[in-house]
Chain A
Amino acid sequence: MNAIASWFTDPMQFQFFRHALGAVLIMGLLCGALGTFVVLRGWSFFGDALTHAVFPGVVVAQIVGGSFFAGGLVAGLLTSLAIGVVARSRRVTADTAIGVLFVGAFSLGVFLLSRTVSYRQDLSAFLFGQVLGVSTADLVVSTIMGTLVIGITLAIFKELKLAAFDPVSAAAMGYPVFALDLLLLGLLTVTIVVALKTVGNILVLAMIVTPAATARLYAERLSSMMLFAAALGAIEGVLGLFLAAHLDVPPGSTIVLLATAVFLAGLGLSPRGGLPAYLRQRRASAAERPDA
């Protein structure tokens, strides 16, 4: 019993770990909640692209000593806008525009970063996160942004639900469906910037998609799926951080690996698609065969 307690309390004596814990908690909640919409709308590719788009922004912020959050937000929103404009051309579909512009933005980030002295160290922090280097200021900004994102999402929850389930009827009821989509993308951009510090550019997509995909296997309502995904994201983040501390491995990848394992287990045990359904089917077809 004591061993389990100290497994959790030992790392807590370090301030940097307590900060990391807070950051991971916010990241998990936010990513899970917003990831619900990404998974249901089939926006994984869009989410992936957004994570690349914010990259040059955070690099420029780092170089000029500006705010990490502001840089990422501006770059993400600018690139999203550019996508919208380019995709208006009849010869360029939206996914092509995304493919071209977002990876272009990412390369711009790498290019800019390569001009700095501490290139390698910075690149690795950007790509894989630096959760153990979260400052008190970072934590405060993350908390404010996270509260704002969750608050807005809950405030327009029923409108988001309608526009995602049945966009044509939503438009017929007079809802600004396109503006709602843009708002959702804006909220997603904020979520990505908040998560960037914790799990890094490469891994943030996993935290957006994986807990929500796991929740999707079980939830029958949007509200329960969102709650479940947020809780899963937070729990996986926290457990992954402790695991990483004890095993002395990088926290970002540990968290993502844990989330992936939980998803695979969830898939296996899911009442609709997994092992139970498979066994049910086998038993049913065995019963149907006359010679069985």
Chain B
Amino acid sequence: MSQSLPAVEIVDLTVAYGERVALRRLSLTLPPAAFVSVIGPNGSGKSTMLRAVAGMVRARHGGVRIFGQSVQRARGRIAYVPQREEVHWEFPVTVQEVAEMGRYSRAGWLRPLSHPDHAAALDALRQVGLADRAGEQIVNLSGGQQQRVFIGRALARQAGLLLLDEPLNGVDAASQDQVIHLLQRQVGQGATVVMATHDLEMAGHVSTHLVFLNEGRLVAFGPPVEALTAETLRRTYGGQLLFHEALVTHRPVDVGAAHHERHR
């Protein structure tokens, strides 16, 4: 693969839904084999950024290149894991069928899946440790397992770029670790992972790069040691984040005293 090209290149990107501007003049370059966490309050543009990279929303200005290609041409190299609420979990499909969906675009329209497609899906399930659940309905799995099936689907797609919209939401701590471990393994094999998350602490520990967004604007971008500062947090979330600033300063937090200070 063309490892020298950036995995994602966002240039002066502006996206709007009607009159509401969701992203303002965003420019970012993500190298290959990066683990990128996108951080910001609700409505800051995290999902919009992922959707723009996946080519699901139209840019009002600027654009996105994936591995040096247009999003349309690079589509086969992108895998997307949506927010949990956007999936109809009650739908009657088996775990194996969900993994096979990663092969649909390879098979193409009007063509059934081939034997190699079925095998690739099962192999992907093996990689996420769920091959023994292949025949079960997706609804019977736990939240963490469902998330792993979706990562399996991305693996079956053999994508070099994984986009995940809050994959750790509604998933217990042990499963979060498993999901992160899986993603790290993909990064180790050369894939680029971009995930939106609210978990600052986790993001700071596992990411190679952090993207901070607020009201559609880029606040900070870089490796955690550079980007994760008290100043960045203040500009991202507005006001003070006592507990989270402690992540940066490593000083104990006395919330009572701080409140006392503020109310005086």
Contact = CB atoms under 8 A, between A and B. Distances in A.
A155 interface: yes
Contacts of A222: 91-93
Nearest to A221: B92
Contact of B104 (A155, A162, A219, A221): A162
Nearest to B85: A168
B229 to A, nearest CB: 33
B35 interface: no
Contacts of A40: 88, 91-92
A165 B56 contact: no
Interface string A154-188: 01101101101111110111100000000000000
Given A172-B78, A222-B93, A156 B109 contact: yes
A169 B98 CA distance: 11
A20 B18 CA distance: 52
Given A168-B86, A221-B94, A174 B105 contact: yes
A291 interface: no
Interface string A123-166: 00000000000000000000000000000000110110110111
B210 to A, nearest CB: 23
B163 interface: yes
B67 interface: no
A19 interface: no
A224 B97 CA distance: 13
B54 A167 contact: no
A225 B92 contact: yes
Interface string B97-136: 1100100110101101100000000000000000000000
B259 to A, nearest CB: 41
A155 B108 CA distance: 11
A220 B96 CA distance: 12
A161 B138 CA distance: 14
B55 interface: yes
B93 A165 contact: yes
- Most chain B CB inside 10 Å of its own CB: which residue of A156, A166, A171, A225: A166
A155 B111 CA distance: 8
Contact of B91 (A159, A164, A169, A224): A164
Contacts of A52: none
Interface in A19-37: none
Main secondary structure of the interface of A (DSSP, over half): helix
B80 interface: yes
Interface string A204-227: 000000000000100111101100
Contacts of A216: 92
Sort chain B's interface into a size bin.
20 to 34
A219 B90 CA distance: 12
Interface string A39-65: 010000000000000000000000000
Contacts of B81: 169
Contacts of A221: 92-94, 97
A172 B83 CA distance: 13
A157 to B, nearest CB: 9
A225 B137 CA distance: 13
Contacts of B113: 158
B82 interface: yes
Nearest to B87: A166
Contacts of A165: 87-88, 91, 93, 98, 101
Contacts of A224: 92
A98 to B, nearest CB: 21
B252 to A, nearest CB: 42
Contacts of A164: 88, 91
Contacts of B78: 172
Given A172-B78, A221-B93, A166 B56 contact: no
Nearest to A224: B92
Interface in B48-95: 51, 54-56, 72, 75, 78-83, 86-88, 91-94
Contacts of B94: 220-221
A220 B87 contact: no
Contacts of B112: 158
A219 B113 CA distance: 22
Given A165-B87, A172-B55, A222-B91, 9 more contacts: A158-B112, A159-B109, A166-B82, A168-B56, A169-B82, A171-B54, A172-B163, A173-B104, A224-B92
27 contacts: A40-B88, A40-B92, A90-B18, A158-B101, A159-B109, A164-B88, A165-B91, A166-B88, A168-B56, A168-B80, A169-B81, A169-B87, A169-B101, A172-B51, A172-B78, A172-B80, A172-B163, A173-B104, A174-B55, A174-B72, A174-B75, A174-B105, A216-B92, A220-B92, A220-B94, A220-B137, A222-B92
Interface of B: 18, 51, 54-56, 72, 75, 78-83, 86-88, 91-94, 97-98, 101, 104-105, 107, 109-110, 112-113, 137, 153, 163
What are the 3 closest A-B residue pairs judged by CB atoms, nearest first?
A172-B80, A168-B82, A172-B54
